[in-house]
Amino acid sequence: MKIITILLFLIINTLSYSQIIATTAKGDTVLLNKDGTWEFKTEYLKKNLNIKTVLDTNTTIFFKDSLAQQVVKGQKVDYQLWYNPDKWELANLNNSSAEYSLQYTKGAAYCMIIPEKISLTIEDLKNVAIVNAKKVGKNIEVVKEDIRKVNGTYVFMMELKGLIQGIRFVYYGYYYTGKDETIQLITYTYQSEFEEYKTELEKMLNGLVIDKIASNRRPNQTAKSAQ
Tally of domains in the chain: 1
Contact in structure between 173 and 182 (CB atoms under 8 Å)? no
Does 226 score more than 70 pLDDT?
no
pLDDT band at residue 9 using 50, 70 and 90 as cut-offs: very low
pLDDT tens digits for 16-75? Answer: 444 555 556 555 555 566 566 656 555 554 454 444 445 678 889 999 999 999 999 999
Does 215 score more than 60 pLDDT?
no
Does 77 score more than 50 pLDDT?
yes
| pLDDT for res 68 | 97
Does 8 score more than 60 pLDDT?
no
pLDDT tens digits for 174-213? Answer: 999 888 888 999 999 999 999 999 999 999 999 999 975 4
pLDDT tens digits for 115-174? Answer: 988 878 888 888 877 776 777 778 889 999 999 999 999 999 999 999 878 889 999 999
- Tell me the CA distances in angstroms from 210 to 8, 174, 227, one per residue in order: 27, 12, 22
Separation of alpha carbons 68 and 85, rounded Å = 7
| pLDDT for res 10 | 46
Q: Using DSSP, state whether 104 is helix, strand or coil.
A: strand
| pLDDT for res 219 | 56
Phi-psi region of 178 (alpha: psi -120 to 50; beta: other; left: phi over 0): beta
Single out the residue of 99, 71, 74 nearest to residue 84, CA to CA: 71
With 0.85 as the threshold, say if the pTM is over it: no
pLDDT band at residue 3 using 50, 70 and 90 as cut-offs: very low
| pLDDT for res 50 | 43
pLDDT: is 71 or 222 the higher one? 71
Structural domain boundaries, residue 209? 2-225
* CATH number, residue 142: 3.40.1000.10
